[in-house]
Structure 1
Amino acid sequence: MTKKGNQFERYSRQIFIEEIGLEGQRKIMNAKVLVIGAGGLGSPVIQYLSAAGVGTIGVVDFDEVELHNLNRQVIHNEHSVGISKVESAGEFVKNLNHQVSFIKHHVKIDTSNAEELISDYGIMVDGSDNFTTRYLVNDTCVKLEKPLVYGSILGFSGQVAVFNIHGSKNLRDIFPEPPSDENLPDCDSLGVLGALPGIVGSMMANVALNIITDLPVPVNKLTLIDTFNWNFQTIDF
């Protein structure tokens, strides 16, 4: 068998972890994860889930790659500018791990398609950049009883949480109603240092892998990341 096809060798450093082992790797390879967004947070999530060997990764994004994305959206490159993010993400995954089944959803997730998209996957990872999508994904996961890994970033700050897993709380238990998107600060207006989404997205990917392999996850807790003061805090909700 060639090195390209040697699964044990490829994933050996995960398999060697006592809490994962062969059985955990099988769970990873049988998992179906939907990533909402192939941008700043979605990029490291897609990168590390595909590297870990997640069997099926679906990505929902309707945007095209733009030059200003490249300081943080590391799965895309200069040759990706002008093409859809899901196409660029698919090319990245194909080059990294041909064993992953990559499903492109080049659509905007909204009330007309959210249930259909989410129902096909076991775990959702939300890297969207607006409150309308975040609450839609949250509410749909609650309705369909699907676990959700949540993350957000702005400037030097980020958040990570797990919602709706084994009956746990969800986004509305922290913030019952979404704020208006009008006049809210975002990365387009205030910017973001490229490494921050790498940190937060990597944490999201790690949590997703813990869910897949039945390892502990932070339930009913919100992790706050402050890279300006280098402070990490977890609060209960």
Structure 2
Amino acid sequence: MKMIFRKAHLYLYVFSVAFSYAILYPLFYFFSRKTSRYKYMNALRRVWGFVSSGLVGIFYNFKVEQPIDWSKTYIICPNHTSNLDITAMSIFVKTNNCCFMGKQELADFFVTALFFRTVDVPVDRASKIASFRAFKTVMERLAQGITTIIFPEATIPDTYPPQLKDFKNGPFRMAIELKLPIIPVTSLNTWQILWDDGLKHGSRPGICDIFVHKPIETAHLTIDDADALRDEVHAIISQKLAEHDHRRTNR
């Protein structure tokens, strides 16, 4: 019975996302026609994410370790257990001068295609040439002051409950090369609301708890420190997940 309700909720959530996107599509399309309008596209995406989730009882609770100065440019690195993580970051990032870097398949999905053909950057990790071009594009955008959200696991873990995967080096090398701070973000329980795309376990109403760690400065680092920076961010997120799991199992 529980799974029936979760599956029914998933259908409601998918309908909410698709229906609200269809209503907003003329505006999204208009804003996507010129790069100067991308900031409005991101602002509208924030509203869309809040509304499409809220209509089915999914909300987001952000705890910030240190206030974020959004006048600066960052590479934001969250762990990834749910499609809701994308919505969470769309809502959290308070600058409209931003973009996502994500898998190439997102350029073909109904509600993400327009974004990943314009404001966001798709990456085909199966092709070294395509990956190089994508990272070059991201480097150019970061150099222009565009904050970028990159999920360093590159994919959602296929285990349930999800376990934190190893991180890719790309975002950490870019941060060091451009001397930009990295913001680790721990998505604590989005997988309990909706794991992956929800097809296996459905979804339910609830509050997604997101912990935003203080920025890590990279101005003093060299490219030889990229692996150490990667491991530091991984350890920060891993420890926060372990603390959350300990509290949850001891309630």
- Asked if TM exceeds 0.5, the reply is no
- Band the TM-score falls in, shorter-chain normalisation: 0.3 to 0.5
Greater relative CO, 1 or 2 (CA 8 Å, sep 6+): 2
- What's the TM-score, normalizing by structure 1? 0.39
Higher helix share: 2
Higher strand share: 1
- What's the TM-score, normalizing by structure 2? 0.37
